[in-house]
């Protein structure tokens, strides 16, 4: 099957690519998902940004226009609408040049001006300040800006990602500061909005500057015997493909070596060295229907030996960011364990693009205005954050709630009640938390706990599987 755009990583043009070449990449990207649209707004935004930034240089020595062009290319990889891409090109003109917001509106339209204004205000916020009150207030402003138009934070995420790509030109202190801020705020935000394309690269780049020794050691060991691993992946993909094709199910099957940060997290959580982590690669199977997902799972468990306790059904129980997939870890025929993810094409699109998919071009032109149920769920989380800010006057408590929610949401623990209901609890939850999630009366009367038919202490930390 042919590669789809969502299967590919974000475009990363080589260093020192001339602006004219970057513009060609940008326009080709947009034409790939919307060939019939008029791109004059994007071309005009480029010319305006180039003129406004003409005397400015990046710390790398490159012309400043390289940065907004690369931000726009990231946005085009997310298949954003032309207003968002134009705003990506113009996102620094009000902050860094003599151009006013009124001029942006007059030259383009109110939509573009609102987006540029939103990103400008976000850029002025210092999320790294040691003053808790100021940091809390800045986070509040960021969430308010997101609530007005979610595209503002998508542009900001693209802006931050490109800045991380060029962090080597900053001072050591600035590198660590920006990497930590990205890992604590921006990467979890991308995850919350379901934009894994940005989150994954942001995590790896943050690790590179926060833990350089760990990062380069990982890079060396992952690349060691890379050819052997890739041969193993190719062999497994072929085995799986042959069995699925026999069933008549249409499937896109790919293998990949896991990202550095996910390997690093596994090492930390399991207290292991990289040499003790065996499932360094994963196979992804994408099919047409939910029925096909479960049928393929059956084939996989016949073909390979599943590892008990390592199956997760995120189709029946989606993550809070509406990620859906079947995850299973199996033992290959050579005795090496590996993970398999099974999902539909629509689930895959949601996993890769998240809320950004809402702003994808439609053939009639412009953006789609009706949010899907998944998008409404993501926005519901944002509404809850804004409610917290109204109710919580204590800045320290507000910061604690927001950071806890951002860092823990994707580590949710799913537990079944005796009647078969599912309870979604934060990571670190205990049987007491589970009991109170059912009813306060259950929690008040609790004297012991049994997990998977085994008695455990009431302070036992619950885990998936």
Give the C-alpha distances (Å, rounded to integers) separating 438 from 417, 441, 442: 8, 9, 7
394 has catalytic annotation: no
Given this model, what pLDDT does residue 330 score?
93
Looking at 211-361, list the stretches that DSSP marks H as alpha helix, in order from N- to C-terminal side: 212-223, 226-247, 260-270, 290-303, 345-353
- Burial 392-425, CB ≥16 within 10 A → b, else e: beebeebbebbeebbbbbeebbbbeeeeeeebeb
Instruction: Supply the pLDDT for residue 227.
Output: 81
Confidence (pLDDT) at 104: 95
Interatomic CA distance for residues 215 and 158, integer angstroms: 23
465 residues of the chain, pLDDT tens digit each: 434 555 667 778 877 889 999 999 999 999 998 887 789 999 999 999 999 999 899 988 899 999 999 999 999 999 999 999 999 999 999 988 889 999 999 999 999 999 999 898 887 666 665 556 666 667 777 777 777 788 999 999 999 999 999 999 999 999 999 999 898 888 888 888 888 889 999 999 999 999 999 899 888 888 877 788 888 899 999 999 999 988 899 999 999 888 889 888 888 877 888 777 777 889 999 999 999 999 999 999 999 999 988 899 999 988 877 889 999 999 988 888 899 999 999 999 888 887 776 655 443 344 444 445 555 555 566 666 656 555 555 555 655 666 655 654 445 566 666 665 556 676 667 888 888 878 778 877 887 888 777 788 877 877 654
Tell me, what's the pLDDT at 408? 43
CA distance 282 to 184: 26
**3-state SS assignment for residue 456:** strand
**Cross-strand pairs, 454:** 451
List 95, 245, 288, 421, catalytic entry: 95
Sequence-ordered list of residues with C-beta below 8 angstroms from that of 53, at least 6 positions apart, any chain = 63, 64, 65, 68, 92, 93, 96, 97
First-to-last CA distance in the chain? 33
Distance CA(181)–CA(111), nearest Å, equals: 29
User: In this predicted structure, what is the pLDDT of residue 131?
Assistant: 59
Closest by CA position to 156, among listed 71, 45, 41, 46: 71
**96 catalytically annotated:** yes
Dihedral pair phi/psi, residue 110, rounded to 5°: -60, -35
Q: What's the pLDDT at 1? A: 42
Crossing angle of helices 66-77 and 151-165, in 10° steps, is 120
CA angle 148–150–153, rounded 5-degree value: 110
Catalytic residue, from 7, 43, 96, 177: name it. Answer: 96
Separation between Cα atoms, residue 264 and residue 270, nearest integer Å? 10
Identify the pLDDT of residue 368. Answer: 44
Rounded Cα distance, 328 and 338, in Å: 9
* Nearest residue to 248 via CA among 316, 299, 304, 302: 299
- Supply the pLDDT for residue 101: 93
Question: For residues 446 and 458, what is the distance between their CA atoms, to the nearest angstrom?
Answer: 9
Task: Note the pLDDT of residue 363.
Answer: 36
DSSP letters spanning 120-188:
HHHHT--TT-S-HHHHHHHHHHHHHHHHH-THHHHHHHHHHHHHHHTGGGS-HHHHHHHHHHIIIIIHH
pTM for the structure as a whole: 0.76
């Amino acid at each position: 099957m042919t590669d789809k755009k969502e299967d590919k990583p974000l475009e990363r043009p080589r260093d020192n690519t001339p602006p004219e070449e970057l513009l060609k990449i940008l326009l080709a990207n947009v034409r790939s998902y919307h060939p019939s649209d008029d791109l004059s707004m994007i071309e005009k935004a480029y010319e305006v940004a180039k003129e406004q930034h003409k005397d400015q240089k990046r710390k790398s020595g490159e012309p400043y226009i390289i940065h907004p062009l690369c931000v726009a290319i990231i946005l085009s990889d997310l298949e954003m609408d032309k207003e968002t891409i134009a705003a990506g090109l113009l996102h620094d003109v009000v902050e860094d040049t003599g151009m006013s917001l009124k001029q942006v509106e007059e030259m383009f339209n109110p939509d573009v001006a609102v987006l540029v204004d939103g990103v400008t205000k976000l850029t002025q916020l210092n999320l790294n300040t040691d003053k808790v009150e100021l940091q809390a207030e800045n986070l509040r402003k960021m969430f308010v800006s997101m609530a007005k138009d979610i595209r503002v934070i998508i542009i900001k995420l693209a802006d931050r990602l490109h800045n991380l790509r060029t962090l080597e030109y900053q001072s050591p202190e600035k590198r660590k500061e920006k990497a930590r801020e990205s890992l604590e705020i921006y990467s979890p935000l991308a995850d919350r909005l379901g934009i894994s394309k940005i989150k994954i690269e942001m995590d790896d780049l943050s690790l590179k500057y926060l833990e350089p020794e760990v990062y380069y050691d990982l890079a060396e060991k992952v690349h060691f015997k890379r050819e052997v691993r890739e041969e193993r992946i190719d062999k497994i993909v072929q085995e799986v493909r042959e069995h699925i094709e026999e069933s008549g199910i249409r499937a896109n099957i790919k293998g990949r070596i896991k990202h550095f940060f996910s390997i690093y997290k596994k090492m930390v959580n399991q207290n292991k060295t990289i040499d003790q982590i065996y499932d360094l690669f994963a196979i992804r199977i994408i099919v047409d229907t939910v029925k096909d997902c479960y049928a393929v799972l059956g084939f996989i468990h016949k073909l390979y030996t599943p590892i008990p306790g390592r199956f997760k059904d995120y189709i029946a129980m989606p993550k809070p960011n509406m990620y859906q997939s079947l995850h299973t870890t199996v033992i290959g025929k050579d005795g090496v364990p590996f993970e398999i993810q099974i999902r539909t094409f629509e689930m895959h699109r949601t996993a890769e693009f998240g809320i950004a998919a809402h702003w994808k071009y439609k053939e009639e032109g412009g953006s789609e205005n009706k949010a899907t149920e998944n998008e409404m769920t993501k926005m519901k989380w944002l509404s809850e954050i804004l409610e917290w800010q109204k109710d919580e006057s204590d800045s320290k408590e507000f910061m604690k709630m927001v950071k806890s929610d951002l860092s823990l949401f994707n580590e949710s623990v799913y537990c079944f009640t005796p009647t078969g209901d599912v309870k979604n609890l934060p990571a670190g939850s205990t049987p007491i938390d589970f009991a109170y999630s059912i009813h306060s009366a259950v929690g008040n009367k609790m004297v012991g706990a049994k997990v998977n038919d085994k008695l455990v202490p009431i302070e036992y930390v619950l885990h998936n599987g």
